[in-house]
């Protein structure tokens, strides 16, 4: 870190403690640190489960409802609790005196960005999903810059001049595999299927995938190498269902080489979280996306359909399909290697490997500006 960077170049990152918010923050943090900036993170207690660059910077926790007794929460209204968090965040920001605050979503973002505006600190928000979250909808009109992962983001006012499409930053190891070309499985080749349910796993995929695979034609079943990331409580159940079948399976609740597994896969079956889709697109692999039906504002459905427009994925709506229909869809794909190759190419073409750099450039431009009203037309030209 450059010791000459003074306090006015401190940048604060605000992000909820789940992978979908932290992965983009992590990617941008690496670049900003490499450029000599000092960083601080405002987050919640779930961040203790993650390490990396974010684990090494100055971290402050915004109080969550879990920090209070149930009785006390019942007395406070949501508005009062938010006000308390804003005051808490304001005190932290006042002690840090950052030049810019960037929010990556999750509940710590709202009070932190509101506190930044009260303190007349320049702000950026990054929306990972194709549907803006509630916090970002509220923050967009008062933020200097709104960075988006998708060209079309539902819930944001497209007439505003502060919206810039940057793409969704991904973990550094994902970009390393972008140059590995996809090779569709030929007759007799092993077929490598990767199933990932997101950072929290997927009970639905855990339950249905063993049934689906055993419904495939026998000449396909014997060729399958399955790698499934599942919820810890479902590991034994999945193994019992697969034991005795010809499927060669690896079952675990977490894989620390997910980039390598994505690059090695012939077909990926997954939920439709923003980070998962961005990683698929960077590496360029065909996918069957099964959006989580209870995601806020159905944002995973929107993510999946936006990505499917590129041709890189097909979408399965959980509520409308059973395992026999899904098995038929998988069979049709695996027997059509030309389509798999086309999907991989389309997926790869839609990836934005420089998303973290794009976002870091915007943030850096704000740190060097003395004005709170940023000319985003100039910024857009710079990003083009």
CATH number at residue 217: 3.40.50.2000
pLDDT digits (tens, 9 = 90+) for 282-318: 999 999 999 999 998 899 999 999 999 999 999 999 9
Tokens found for residue 249: 């399976």
Asked, for residue 72, whether it belongs to a domain, the answer is: yes
Q: Are residues 248 and 375 in the same domain?
A: no
Instruction: Please say whether the beta carbons of 152 and 306 come within 8 A.
Output: yes
Q: Are residues 201 and 155 in the same domain?
A: no
Q: Which helix (H) or strand (E) holds 146?
A: strand 145-148
Q: For residue 127, which of 116, 114, 111, 143 has the smallest C-alpha distance? A: 143
pLDDT digits (tens, 9 = 90+) for 172-223: 899 999 999 999 999 889 999 999 986 666 788 988 998 898 899 999 999 9
pLDDT digits (tens, 9 = 90+) for 350-380: 999 999 999 999 999 998 776 545 555 544 5
Average pLDDT, the chain: 87
Give the integer Cα–Cα distance in Å for 100 and 262.
35
Domain total for the chain? 2
Asked, for residue 2, whether it belongs to a domain, the answer is: no
Q: Are residues 214 and 69 in the same domain?
A: no
Give the integer Cα–Cα distance in Å for 225 and 36.
44
The pTM of this model reads 0.88
Neighbours of 86 (CB within 10 A): 20
Q: Which helix (H) or strand (E) holds 236?
A: helix 235-242
Q: Are residues 67 and 209 in the same domain?
A: no
Beta strand segments in 312-382, E: 313-315
Q: Are residues 333 and 364 in the same domain?
A: no
Q: Are residues 162 and 68 in the same domain?
A: yes
Phi and psi angles of residue 273, each rounded to the nearest 5 degrees, phi first = -65, 155
Q: Are residues 184 and 206 in the same domain?
A: yes
Q: Are residues 74 and 212 in the same domain?
A: no
Q: Please give the residue range of the domain that contains residue 191.
A: 175-349
Q: Are residues 138 and 205 in the same domain?
A: no
Instruction: Please say whether the beta carbons of 55 and 111 come within 8 A.
Output: no
Q: Are residues 100 and 223 in the same domain?
A: no
Give the integer Cα–Cα distance in Å for 85 and 157.
27
Q: Are residues 212 and 163 in the same domain?
A: no
Q: Are residues 187 and 327 in the same domain?
A: yes
Neighbours of 301 (CB within 10 A): 20
């Amino acid at each position: 870190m450059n010791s000459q960077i003074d306090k006015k170049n401190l940048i604060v990152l605000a992000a909820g403690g789940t992978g979908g918010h932290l992965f983009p923050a992590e990617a941008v943090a690496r670049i900003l640190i490499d450029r000599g900036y000092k960083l601080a993170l405002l987050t919640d207690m779930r961040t203790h489960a993650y390490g990396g660059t974010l684990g090494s910077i100055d971290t402050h926790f915004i109080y969550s409802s879990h920090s209070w007794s149930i009785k006390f929460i019942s007395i406070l209204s949501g508005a009062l609790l938010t006000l308390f968090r804003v005051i808490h965040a304001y005190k932290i920001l006042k002690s840090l005196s950052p030049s810019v605050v960037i929010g990556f979503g999750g509940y710590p973002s709202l009070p932190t960005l509101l506190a930044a505006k009260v303190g007349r600190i320049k702000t950026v928000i990054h929306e990972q999903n194709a549907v803006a979250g509630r916090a970002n909808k509220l923050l967009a009109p008062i933020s200097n810059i709104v960075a988006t992962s998708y060209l079309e983001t539902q819930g944001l006012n497209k007439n505003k001049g502060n919206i810039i499409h940057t793409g969704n930053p991904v973990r550094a190891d994902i970009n390393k595999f972008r140059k590995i070309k996809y090779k569709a499985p030929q007759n007799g080749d092993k077929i490598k299927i990767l199933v990932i349910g997101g950072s929290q796993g997927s009970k639905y995929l855990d339950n249905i995938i063993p049934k689906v695979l055993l419904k495939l034609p026998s000449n396909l079943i014997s060729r399958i190498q399955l790698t499934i990331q599942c919820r810890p409580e479902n590991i034994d159940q999945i193994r019992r269902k697969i034991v005795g079948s010809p499927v060669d399976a690896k079952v675990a609740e977490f894989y620390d080489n997910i980039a390598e597994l994505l690059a090695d896969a012939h077909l990926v079956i997954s939920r439709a979280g923003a980070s998962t889709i961005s990683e698929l697109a960077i590496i360029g692999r065909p996918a069957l996306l099964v959006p989580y039906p209870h995601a806020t504002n159905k944002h995973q459905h929107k993510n999946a359909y936006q990505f499917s427009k590129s041709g890189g994925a097909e979408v399965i709506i959980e509520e409308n399909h059973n395992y026999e229909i899904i098995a038929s869809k998988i069979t049709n794909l695996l027997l059509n290697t030309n389509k798999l190759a086309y999907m991989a190419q389309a997926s790869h073409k839609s990836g934005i490997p420089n998303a973290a750099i794009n976002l870091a450039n915007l943030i850096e431009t704000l740190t060097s500006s003395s004005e709170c009203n940023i000319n985003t037309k100039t910024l857009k030209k710079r990003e083009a």
